[in-house]
Structure 1
Amino acid sequence: MPGADVIIIGSGLAALSAAYHLHHKKNITIITKAKWLNSNSMLAQGGIAAALSKNDSWLSHFEDTLRAGNFHNAEDAVIQLVQEGPEDILGWIDKGMPFDKDRNGDFLLGKEGAHSHNRIVHSGGDATGKAMTQFIYNKLKNNITITEGELATDLIVKNGKCYGVKTISSSGEVKSHHASKTILATGGVGAVYGHTSNATVITGDGIAMAFRAGAALADMEFIQFHPTMLYANGECVGLISEAVRGEGAFLIDQNGRRIMKSVHPEQDLAPRDIVSRTIFDEINRGNQIYLDISPVHDFEKRFPTITGLCNQHGISLIEGKIPVAPGMHFIMGGVQTNGYGETTIPNLYAVGEVACTGVHGANRLASNSLLEGLVFGRRVAEHMLAAEFIEPSTITHHELFFDQPTKAKPNLPQKSEVQFMMTRYVGIQRTKEELQIAQTWFETFQQQFSFWDINVNDFTFEEVEMLNMLLVGWLITTSALTRTESRGGHYRLDFPLVDDDNWLKKQIVRTKLDMHVGV
């Protein structure tokens, strides 16, 4: 079938940012497994962090990002993010993107956990991700090709270079999409866990594809759990934005005791890993945890999305208490890239949550994710525009990296089984013994077939998703066993926590775990 200059797999903010900056000069095809609007970006409530006020600076944002990331960050990537972010936001405003402002026309800047300044810009109150994603989509939709309902199964790789992707539809139709350049923008791994803020389609597909094709991965053990998900009828059913605590709300138990008061100097606005672990410990002690929203002025007006979510699940706001619990939110690791989104496979790029630039370190600073999508989406596009392109018409046939039939079709588990194993044994707090239980369970399937040496053409749409979930679960678990320390989103009860406040005396050797070592 005809090729594109660039194929982008995924339809969230990072994908659309890259597509926007490319589409004036290149032929772009976006491929997404569901509808284009089924992305984590559409669910993002908080906002976009950027040093836009006169009393703020990129250096302050830089230091906050490193502190939250437990100094495991790639400092060059952080500098790119915080220095270029304000200009990107102002550029989108010039294109017509509306952000919330006060009566004087100044940004309504919110504050979130681990930020030293009010620097979070919002659009539509608590619907920033949706507003930004729809705005860029509307700028693009008539100028690019968008293919919905096709799951990307494996990258087309020949002689060590990527030339596109193979897909499968829900009806089982397999296609080859050829391109000079391919961008992974598939998001994270949230659906691998039982309690998550992520869209249900986020099953780690991009990370699994990249691994099968031979790309290097990094930092897969660093999983961020958001402290405050709405907890209703024994389940986490949606996100309660950190911006609520930024407006003055605080965490209490069933007796009204403030649980964060003596835990951290920033109390309820401590880094997410600290707040999540505190809530987790309280729940394990039999306490019920609530977010007291009584200090928030005009809550329903300020947070219409959250208000609707509470109403949907029968949670009354009259008493000013929202039941909350932690849930999987973000993976800091992923496909290893440089500051231009290049992976270790030529012609293959990655951007957004699927990528690991090192910008987030061991724990992402609140509201840096949408900023990452804007900044690095543009950086990928600018780098591509300066690169050499092969004319799509010259691409004929390229075999998959693995093209041998799978020896025997294995018996696959249910999604709920994978989610239970990850939530129970690879969660907020980990031990060697628990991680080994999970690893052994995953490897019982590996004994039937190799996670990375399969021909996905032998499987259905749903089975490919499950294969990806098994592979990603195993990668996270194995990485968590490999890192024998506690840092940020990786907390092991059998190893001490790295001092995340020692800015002046920090001495950290940044380690990048190439997941192919020992395989």
Structure 2
Amino acid sequence: MPQSDIVIIGSGIAALSAAYHLKNRKVVIITKSLWADSNSMLAQGGIAAVTQKNDSWENHYRDTLIAGCFHNDEKNVEFLVKDGPKEIKDWCQKGITFDTDENGQFLLGKEGAHSQHRILHAGGDATGLKVTSFLYQAVKASVTIVENEMATDLIIKDGICCGVYTKNEKGEITQYISSKTIIASGGCGAVYGNTSNAEVITGDGIAMAYRAGAEIADMEFIQFHPTMLHVNGRCVGLISEAVRGEGAILVNQNGEAFMEHKHDQKDLAPRDIVARAIFDEMKKGNNVFLDISCIKNFQTRFPTISEICVRNGIDLKKGKIPVAPGMHFLMGGIRTNDKGETSINNLFAIGEAACTGVHGANRLASNSLLEGLVFAKRVADHINSKPVVNEKKVFPNIQEECCETLKISLPTKKQIQEMMNKYVGIQRTQAELNYVINWFMRYERFFQNNNVKNFTKEEIEIINLLTVGWLIATSASMRTESRGGHYRLDFPVADDNTWRKKQIIRTKQEMVVGV
């Protein structure tokens, strides 16, 4: 039974950054597949941070609030945009290199809803891979990394988190006892199927925290990335917003640039607005394309995207890439404060699994990697400021009923995805939400279960998807307005002053609306 100071669940940028800053402690990183299987490794865009004198943290702060429809936690946004440049400077000094011009100046991009060019890139469109790989190399010798073990249940004793149960590929269960546990397992892209997320992102950390009694907030806010490569009716890869930042234009099959009259920022409007505009075009029976003909040396500037397109049979010489919206990012998650603390003692959350409130109702482009770096450092600094007391503890393995004895079969992953796409997608109505909530409630006994470790790994993933799907749908039903990534056909778009601070918080014991 391993004992450690810190257990970190996940292996993306937030997890590895936290591990780096905690490397003087005894740290164990647990990931259910290989360390490189994370959304961070797939991030094509970049990191938004103020690095030029003609920009300011106030500008970045304002852009973040506007994109987030003023639902943001303003204090945490200020931490994000003020600490971000310091993080970039520190990591550059440690050896991370971002793309520069011949004079050594950062090549800064501009993406949707940003008022300035402030996006740093590494390797063109491989920022996530470059930065995350660097972090891995920086920590692998000083922390223990356990691959191919799935975290299944948090160990809670007298309201305190004491570690986590895991299950390996052989079905063996292990207790990891720790003074502090950090969930950095990412979002829940697999609940929708058509997603930019890695296949392993099934909402595990959020579902596990919910079952343990942690507060979960803002699950209704789902960001659908406007431009995923759309081939044969399926989304098969991400086309970064940086492509539009370089001048690409959204058009339909008739060549109409339909964003011209949708928003004053046109193709670089906030993601929720662009995604709905594309969705509306497709409802009319139109096909949507990114016209890249104006971008010189496209394959040099965007090598990762070019490879995805060529692999899927797209002739880039024609200058058009077929696109459609797909699930990209969860603004909600495990509710935390500015130090990553959750409502359960000694349990922390960072990255996309956490709801820090910095993204509000709609994440500003390229703020996610920044959040991972900034809040991982804040969590680590908080933990490092306190002594770690680690008593040796043993908790009995509680035998749980297997699937067969629950008298009901679990649905398939595909069935869950079909229900979410159809009833809890880009546009929502109360009638559709009621229908899907009733469908989820058939399986309530599974996702209200405190203890799932004796199910198979595949069954646990299904239970986790059921849990996050139900959380999204029930939270969406409660928010009777349209705001950011939550769009109700039966309610108008909220203005900046309506319900500005109201969060919908789900706990296992009750559903409350907190102000």
Q: What TM-score results when the alignment is normalised by the length of structure 1?
A: 0.96
Mapped to 2, the partners of 1:351 and 1:456 lie a distance apart of: 23
Post-superposition shift, 1:117? 0.0
Q: Residue 488 of structure 2: SS of its match in structure 1?
A: coil
Q: Which residue does the alignment assign to 2:493? A: 497
Q: Which residue does the alignment assign to 2:26? A: 27
Q: Which residue does the alignment assign to 2:440? A: 442
Q: Residue 471 of structure 2: SS of its match in structure 1?
A: helix
Mapped to 2, the partners of 1:336 and 1:518 lie a distance apart of: 15
Q: Does the 8 Å contact 1:220/1:479 carry over to 2?
A: yes
Q: Which residue does the alignment assign to 1:483? A: 479
What is the CA RMSD across the aligned residues, in angstroms? 1.3
Q: Does the 8 Å contact 2:119/2:366 carry over to 1?
A: yes
Mapped to 2, the partners of 1:222 and 1:492 lie a distance apart of: 12
Post-superposition shift, 1:405? 4.3
Mapped to 1, the partners of 2:363 and 2:167 lie a distance apart of: 33
Q: Which residue does the alignment assign to 2:90? A: 91
Post-superposition shift, 1:388? 3.2
State which drifts further: 457-466 or 253-262.
457-466
Q: Which residue does the alignment assign to 1:420? A: 418
Residue 505 of structure 2 is aligned to residue 514 of structure 1: yes
Q: Which residue does the alignment assign to 2:463? A: 467
Q: Residue 457 of structure 1: SS of its match in structure 2?
A: coil
Pairing partner for 2:454 from 458, 462, 467? 458
Mapped to 1, the partners of 2:170 and 2:466 lie a distance apart of: 23
Aligned 1:36-47 pairs, distance under 5 A = 36-47=35-46
Q: Flag structure 1 segments of 5+ consecutive residues without an equivalent.
A: none
Q: Does the 8 Å contact 1:126/1:305 carry over to 2?
A: yes
Post-superposition shift, 1:67? 0.1
Q: Residue 441 of structure 2: SS of its match in structure 1?
A: helix
Post-superposition shift, 1:404? 5.8
Q: Which residue does the alignment assign to 2:14? A: 14
Post-superposition shift, 1:408? 2.0
Q: Does the 8 Å contact 2:166/2:453 carry over to 1?
A: no
Post-superposition shift, 1:454? 4.4
Which amino acid is the alignment partner of residue 8 of structure 1? Answer: I
Aligned 1:41-80 pairs, distance under 5 A = 41-80=40-79
Post-superposition shift, 1:370? 0.2
Mapped to 1, the partners of 2:457 and 2:279 lie a distance apart of: 35
Q: Does the 8 Å contact 2:210/2:216 carry over to 1?
A: yes
Mapped to 1, the partners of 2:153 and 2:287 lie a distance apart of: 44
Q: Does the 8 Å contact 1:158/1:399 carry over to 2?
A: no
Q: Does the 8 Å contact 2:446/2:463 carry over to 1?
A: no
Post-superposition shift, 1:409? 5.8
Q: Does the 8 Å contact 1:156/1:399 carry over to 2?
A: no
Q: Does the 8 Å contact 1:341/1:376 carry over to 2?
A: yes
Mapped to 2, the partners of 1:85 and 1:279 lie a distance apart of: 32
Aligned 1:351-430 pairs, distance under 5 A = 351-391=350-390, 394-398=391-395, 405=401, 408=406, 410-430=408-428
Q: Residue 259 of structure 2: SS of its match in structure 1?
A: coil
Q: Does the 8 Å contact 1:174/1:457 carry over to 2?
A: yes
**Residue 399 to residue 478, structure 1, CA distance change in 2 (3 Å):** farther
Post-superposition shift, 1:259? 1.1
Post-superposition shift, 1:2? 2.7
Q: Residue 380 of structure 2: SS of its match in structure 1?
A: helix
Mapped to 1, the partners of 2:443 and 2:138 lie a distance apart of: 45
Post-superposition shift, 1:170? 2.2
Q: What TM-score results when the alignment is normalised by the length of structure 2?
A: 0.97
Q: Does the 8 Å contact 2:46/2:125 carry over to 1?
A: yes
Residue 250 of structure 2 is aligned to residue 266 of structure 1: no
Identity %: 59
- Which structure 1 residue ranges, 4+ long, deviate > 6 Å from structure 2? none
Mapped to 2, the partners of 1:291 and 1:488 lie a distance apart of: 23
Mapped to 1, the partners of 2:154 and 2:217 lie a distance apart of: 19
Mapped to 2, the partners of 1:487 and 1:493 lie a distance apart of: 11
Deviations 1:269-309 (A, max 9, x none): 00000000000010011000000001112110000000000
Q: Does the 8 Å contact 1:288/1:323 carry over to 2?
A: yes
Aligned 1:190-339 pairs, distance under 5 A = 190-339=189-338
Count of aligned pairs between the two proteins? 508
Mapped to 2, the partners of 1:272 and 1:48 lie a distance apart of: 16
Mapped to 2, the partners of 1:404 and 1:169 lie a distance apart of: 17
Q: Residue 338 of structure 1: SS of its match in structure 2?
A: coil
Q: Does the 8 Å contact 1:168/1:174 carry over to 2?
A: yes
Mapped to 1, the partners of 2:504 and 2:490 lie a distance apart of: 20
